[in-house]
Amino acid sequence: MTPTLHTDPAVTEPMPVMSAPPPADQPSTAPRETAAGQRPSEERIYRHRLPVRIGHWLNVVWLFILIMSGLQIFNAHPALYWGDRSDRDQPLLSIRATKSDDGQVKGITTILGHPFDTTGVLGYSNHSIRAFPAWATVPSAKWLAMGRQWHLFFAWLFVINGLFFAAYAFISRHIARDLVPTGRDLKGIGKAVKDHLVLRHPKGEEAKRYNVLQKLAYMGVLFGLAPLIVLTGLTMSPTIDTAFPWLLSLFGGRQSARTIHFIACFSFVGFILVHVSQVILTGFFNNIRSMVTGWCVVKYEGVRHEN
Amino acid sequence: MKIENAMKRRQFLKGTLGVASLIALAGCDNLTQSSWFPGVLNKAETLTDLVQRAITPANALAKEYTDSDVSAVFPANGNTDPGTADYAAHVETDFAKWQVEVVGLVQTPMSWTLPALKELPSRTQITRHDCVEGWSAIGKWSGVPLGDLMHHVQPLPNAKYAVFHCADVDDEGMAYYESMAIQDCYHPQTILAYELNGKPLDISHGAPVRLRFERQLGYKQAKYVVKIELVETLGGIGQGRGGYWEDQGYEWYAGI
């Protein structure tokens, strides 16, 4: 595997000064200038506090289940509409199976009137007519009632976890300190985009905090996407619609809310793909360790590392 | 050397992620099949019921739409024809002798023929029907507020649920039935509907009388209603979960 991790001097040397997490109101760097004023090649910093780590990993579980049980529910009526009703001749998107004259079954995904052959994944997979394939749904068999049981149970956990995290992040000033982009961040956004495109990632001091794209992505997910997916989900509830009729106006109708819910779901999938690929590209083991133990290693420029 | 390592690492990661997700999926299926886990999942229904009732005013109305919002085609789901000889005889006579009984835990059990129901004060509402599958359709319903019938029969204090017995029977001989909490019978939009879009209900939509229970999902909207029974507990009726679909694993509380 990766012997580097174990031969890394900074890791094998005895635990540095900061063997315990810093107090809650203190940020997280361990200043380790040597006596000679020389910079060490790398430094251990305490990056993620316990509530953030717990919330993160619980969310991994909730999201995985919510997305897959959501696809199970979608499979019961694999079409999306705008407005309040489902006019079946005018779906925005549909995933169906068709049988050609020679008896061949094909999976056809139609987006805004444009059909695409998606046999094998969408519409028809593994000899079965179903919008999303068995490997993408919970439970894997076609079973709407059970999909709803999973979805509506874990939706509660997702909301409760989210509320705890939001409360913690406000009170601990995690949002103000670590997540809100500064003016300087925003000015550097062009450079950040360019750096990310060529996979050049921040090192040293710059790596001790979130970069501007990270901040925007995390803020967008935490305070944009997550509330959006919860509210559009609730708008699909006929009882909630009677209690809060403005939800219907806000999203343009129950079927629009369902469509936005679906788009928000795939925005989560997109975020997860980018997030995980960044985690891998910027040092998988270091990143995983920091989200498990809180501690990560920051490396400085000019020092070569076998990595 | 470096590239080789990177490739190995990538393969390892891909393998790990793939295996992890397969294990997780299989885990979900195992939990689904276990004897205890669906019971845990089902706790959410109780919580949702409690919370939604707490935050929803008892008489808050479902949104009512205008004539121009009505669906061109209102899909008919579930059983679309009871298909029994008895029902066919009613179709022959235009349901003139159809009766809806209200019995069980009431002061005065009563029954109404279809013409008698139509003579009672009616309510017309253009509402959205939300199917558990995910689609919605808008229709204009006319019928008798169930609350009015309740005032006639006077439920006893221990009546907790209204059970709707229907004339339709599925391929396996299971009769359709549904139930709602007694307080929902008094919601102004809870009606026994006999008209859809200005015409008498057709067979596929539940002729001659069906329930409209606007704050819950489509499978609660029992069609071909023949008897309303007020009970204290749902046990002993069907499989005891309160409805035809509930007996097959759907939630009794269908507000979401």
Chain segment A253-297, per-residue pLDDT in tens: 999 999 999 999 999 999 999 999 999 999 999 999 999 999 999
Report the C-alpha gap between B235 and B159 in whole angstroms.
14
**Within an 8 Å CB–CB cutoff, is residue A86 touching chain B?**
yes
Nearest to A70 by CA among A217, A252, A236, A277: A236
- pLDDT tens for each residue of A147-185: 999 999 999 999 999 999 999 999 999 999 999 999 999
- The alpha carbon of residue A140 is apart from the nearest alpha carbon of chain B, in Å, by 7
More confident residue, A132 or A41: A132
**Distance from B88 to chain A by nearest Cα, in Å?**
31
pLDDT band, residue A302 (cuts 50/70/90): low
Distance from CA of A213 to the nearest CA of B (A): 25
Share above pLDDT 70 across residues of chain A, in percent, rounded to a whole number = 85
Selected for mutation to probe chain B from A66, A69, A237, A254 (highest B CB count within 10 Å) is A237
Shortest CA distance from B135: residue in chain A: A86
Nearest to A243 among B38, B48, B56 (CB): B56
* A interface test, pick of B33, B65, B127, B130 with most A CB neighbours within 10 Å: B130
Over residues A28-55, mean pLDDT: 74
The answer to whether B72 contacts A144, with C-beta atoms less than 8 Å apart, is: no
Q: Which residue has the tokens 């000899």?
A: A127
Task: Give the confidence band of A86 by pLDDT, cuts at 50, 70, 90.
Answer: very high
Residue ranges of B 111-170 with Cβ closer than 8 A to chain A: 128, 130-138
* Chain B residues whose beta carbon lies within 8 Å of the beta carbon of residue A256: none
pLDDT tens-digit series, residues B121-160? 999 999 999 999 999 999 999 999 999 999 999 999 999 9
| Per-residue model confidence (pLDDT) at position B22 | 77
Is B69–A248 a contact, with Cβ atoms under 8 angstroms apart?
no
How many CA atoms lie within 13 Å of B230's alpha carbon, on the beta-carbon side? 25
CA distances from B11 to A1, A15, B14, B122 (A): 10, 32, 5, 69
Average the pLDDT over B48-62 and give the result: 96
Number of continuous H segments (helices) and E segments (strands) in chain B? 5, 10
Distance from CA of B82 to the nearest CA of A (A): 24
Name the residue in chain A with its Cα closest to that of B44.
A153
DSSP β-ladder status, B123-130 and A295-299: unpaired
Residue A27's pLDDT is 45
Mean pLDDT of B39-45: 95
Residue B220 has pLDDT above 90, yes or no: yes
> What is the identity of the amino acid at B175?
A
More confident residue, B10 or B102: B102
Task: Place B16 in a pLDDT band, splitting at 50, 70 and 90.
Answer: confident
Q: Whole-number mean pLDDT of chain B?
A: 94
Is residue A202 over pLDDT 90?
Answer: no
Confidence of residue B199 (pLDDT cuts 50, 70, 90): very high
Q: Which pLDDT belongs to residue A307?
A: 43
pLDDT of residue A61: 94
The single-letter DSSP state of residue B155 is B
Q: What is the pLDDT of residue A38?
A: 63
Nearest in space to B161 (alpha carbons), one of B75, B228, B101: B228
ipTM over 0.90: yes
Q: Check CB contact under 8 Å for A248 and B131.
A: no
How does strand B161-169 pair with strand B110-113?
Answer: unpaired
Read off the pLDDT band of B111 (50, 70, 90). very high
What pLDDT score was predicted for residue A1?
A: 36
Is the CB of residue B209 less than 8 Å from the CB of residue B194? yes
| Residue A12 banded pLDDT, cuts 50, 70, 90 | very low
Please give, rounded to a whole number of angstroms, the shortest distance from the CA of B142 to a CA of chain A: 20
Q: State how far the alpha carbon of A114 is from the alpha carbons of A133, A204, A262, B145, B203, in Å.
A: 21, 49, 19, 46, 36
Min Cα separation A101/chain B (Å): 28
pLDDT at residue number B148: 98
- Which residues have CB under 8 Å from A220's CB, separation 6+? none
Average pLDDT over residues A58-72: 96
Instruction: Choose the closest CB to A138 out of B13, B28, B133.
Output: B28
Residue contact A88–B75, C-beta within 8 A: yes
Q: Inform me whether the C-beta atom of residue A73 falls under 8 Å from chain B C-beta atoms.
A: yes
pLDDT of residue B174: 86
Please report residues of B whose CB lies closer than 8 A to that of A132: none
Q: How far is B73 from chain A (nearest CA, A)?
A: 8
Closest CA to B161 of B216, B99, B111, B104: B104
pLDDT score, position A200? 87
CB contact under 8 A, B12 and A74: no
> CA A80, A86, A89, A93: dihedral to nearest 10 degrees?
0
DSSP for A79-112?
Answer: EE-SSSS--TTS-SEEEEEEE-TTS-EEEEEEET
The residues that bridge with B175 in the sheet, in sequence order, are B169
Name the least confident of B6-10, B71-75, B164-168.
B6-10
Residues 6+ apart with CB under 8 A from A300: A39, A40, A41, A42, A43, A203, A204
pTM of the full predicted structure?
Answer: 0.89
Q: Tell me, what's the pLDDT at A9?
A: 38
Q: How much is the average pLDDT of B9-30?
A: 79
pLDDT digits (tens, 9 = 90+) for A17-39: 333 444 444 444 444 444 455 66
Query: Is pLDDT above 60 for B11?
Result: yes
Mark yes or no for CB contact A280/B56 under 8 Å: no
pLDDT band at A208 (very low <50, low <70, confident <90, very high): confident
- Comparing CB atoms, the residue among A64, A85, A306 nearest residue B24 is A64
